[in-house]
C-alpha cells in the first residue's frame, strides 16, 4: 500500500498535470473551430482565398473562431469533403458542381460544357434567383450551405505531346485525365477524348511519367500546380466556365448566433471576391507566360467543340433531369 505522503504528493501532481493539460484545450474550446479542407495547391487563388477568409473573420469577430486551413487534400481527399461535412468532421470547403450533382442531379447542368459563358455571367447566375433556388435544394439535400461562388477559371485542354487539335475528333484516343467522378468523365468523353480518372494531386506525376496524355484545368491552376513543366501544349477549348462553391456544413452553421452567421458569410464573400478578381486578371495574362515557358498555345475550332459537346449532353440522360426552362433562364442571364 502506498504511504499517505506519497499518495497525497501523487494526487497533487496528478491534479496539477490535469489542470495543466486542461487549461489550454479549455481555452481553445472557447473558440469555434472551423476546419477547412481543399485539394488546392498553396499558390492557387482558391487556396490563398482561405487566408482572406480567416483574416476577415479574425477582424470582424476577434477571438471567436479558430480557422484551420488544410491545403493539398491533406485532411480529406478530393470529393470526400461533402460526406465529411455531413458527418460533422469538417466545417468548410469548396464544392464543385459535380460534387453537388451526385446528390442533386439537376445541378449537373453546371457540369456540362459550354453552358455558362463568362465569369461575370456565372456570378449573376449564382447570386440571383437561380442560385437562391438551387442552393436551397443543396442545403436541404446535402446538409451544407453554399455561401459564395468562386470562379475557378475556364477549363482548357493541356497536352503532354504536341497535337493538331481542331475538333473533338482530333482528341480521339487521348487519355485525358479528369477528376474521378462520372460527371467529369462524361465531360472528358464529350470532348472527344478518352476520359481517365485521377485525383488532382496525382496529375503532375501522371503527366511526367506518361500514364495520361493530358489534363484539363483553368490556366491559373496549370500555372499554380506547375503542369506546364510537364506538358507541351495548351488547346484553348474553353469548354467549362468552372465554379467552386464555398460551403459550410449546416451542423456548424446551426451552432452560430445570427451575428456570427453574418460574419462567416461576409468572410466567405470577401474570400470569393479576392479569388475572382485575381483569377480573372491572371487568366488574361497567362497565355504569354506559357508561351515564354516554351508551350504551344493553340486555338481549335471552338464552335465545332461547342456544337458537339452540347449535342452530346442534349442526347444524354443529363438533359432529362435538367428542370424545364432552366437552360433558357441561364441563357437569359446576361
Ligand atoms: C481538378 O481536379 O481538375 C479540379 O480543377 C476540379 C475542381 O472541382 C477542384 O476540385 C480543383 O481541382 C481543386 O480545387 C484543385 O485546384
Taking only the tens place, the pLDDT of each residue in 176-228 is 999 999 999 999 999 999 999 999 999 999 999 999 999 999 999 999 999 99
- pLDDT > 90? residue 24: no
Residue range(s) defining the domain that contains residue 87 = 27-331
In a domain, residue 46? The reply is yes
The alpha carbon of 126 and the centre of ligand 1 are apart by a number of angstroms equal to 19
The alpha carbon of 159 and the centre of ligand 1 are apart by a number of angstroms equal to 17
Global pTM reads: 0.91
Compute the distance between CA of residue 272 and CA of residue 193 in angstroms, rounded to an integer. Answer: 32
Name the one residue in this structure whose C-alpha cell is 451526385. Answer: 102
At residue 29, the pLDDT reads 54
Output the domain CATH number for residue 223.
Answer: 3.40.190.170
**C-alpha torsion 186→189→190→193, nearest 10:** 160
Closest C-alpha residue for ligand 1 atom 7: 96
Mean pLDDT rounded to a whole number for the chain: 93
- pLDDT > 90? residue 7: no
In a domain, residue 153? The reply is yes
Number of folded domains in the chain? 1
- pLDDT > 90? residue 2: no
Could you tell me how far CA 40 lies from the centroid of its own chain?
7
- pLDDT > 60? residue 133: yes
At residue 30, the pLDDT reads 86
In a domain, residue 9? The reply is no
In a domain, residue 12? The reply is no
At residue 317, the pLDDT reads 97
- Coil, helix or strand at residue 75: coil
Ligand 1 pocket residue status of 196, Cβ below 6 Å: no
In a domain, residue 108? The reply is yes
In a domain, residue 127? The reply is yes
In a domain, residue 107? The reply is yes
In a domain, residue 6? The reply is no
Taking only the tens place, the pLDDT of each residue in 76-104 is 999 999 999 999 999 999 999 999 999 99
Amino acid at each position: 500500500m502506498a504511504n499517505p505522503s506519497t499518495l497525497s504528493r501523487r494526487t497533487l501532481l496528478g491534479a496539477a498535470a490535469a489542470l495543466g493539460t486542461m487549461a489550454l484545450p479549455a481555452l481553445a474550446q472557447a473558440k469555434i473551430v472551423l476546419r477547412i479542407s481543399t485539394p488546392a495547391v498553396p499558390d492557387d487563388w482558391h487556396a490563398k482565398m482561405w487566408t482572406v477568409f480567416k483574416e476577415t473573420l479574425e477582424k470582424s469577430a476577434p477571438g471567436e473562431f479558430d480557422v484551420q486551413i488544410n491545403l493539398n487534400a491533406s485532411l480529406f481527399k478530393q470529393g470526400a469533403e461533402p460526406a465529411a461535412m455531413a458527418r460533422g468532421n469538417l466545417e468548410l470547403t469548396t464544392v464543385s458542381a459535380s460534387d453537388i450533382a451526385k446528390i442533386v442531379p439537376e445541378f449537373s447542368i453546371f457540369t456540362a460544357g459550354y453552358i455558362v459563358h463568362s465569369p461575370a455571367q456565372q456570378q449573376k447566375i449564382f447570386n440571383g434567383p437561380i442560385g437562391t433556388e438551387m442552393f436551397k435544394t443543396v442545403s436541404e439535400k446535402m446538409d451544407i450551405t453554399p455561401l459564395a461562388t468562386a470562379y475557378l477559371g475556364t477549363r482548357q485542354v493541356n497536352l503532354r505531346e504536341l497535337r493538331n487539335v481542331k475538333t473533338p475528333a482530333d482528341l480521339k484516343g487521348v487519355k485525358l485525365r479528369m477528376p474521378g467522378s462520372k460527371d467529369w468523365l462524361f465531360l472528358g468523353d464529350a470532348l472527344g477524348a478518352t476520359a481517365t480518372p485521377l485525383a488532382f494531386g496525382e496529375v503532375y506525376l501522371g503527366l511526367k511519367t506518361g500514364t495520361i496524355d493530358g489534363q484539363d484545368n483553368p490556366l491559373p491552376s496549370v500555372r499554380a500546380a506547375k503542369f506546364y513543366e510537364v506538358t507541351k501544349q495548351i488547346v484553348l477549348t474553353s469548354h467549362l466556365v468552372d465554379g467552386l462553391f464555398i460551403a459550410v456544413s449546416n451542423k456548424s452553421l446551426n451552432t452560430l448566433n445570427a451575428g456570427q452567421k453574418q460574419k462567416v458569410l461576409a468572410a466567405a464573400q470577401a474570400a470569393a471576391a479576392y479569388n475572382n478578381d485575381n483569377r480573372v486578371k491572371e487568366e488574361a495574362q497567362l497565355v504569354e507566360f506559357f508561351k515564354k515557358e516554351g508551350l504551344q498555345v493553340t486555338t481549335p475550332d471552338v464552335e465545332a467543340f461547342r456544337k458537339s459537346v452540347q449535342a452530346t449532353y442534349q442526347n444524354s440522360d443529363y438533359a432529362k433531369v435538367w428542370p424545364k426552362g432552366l437552360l433558357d433562364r441561364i441563357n437569359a442571364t446576361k
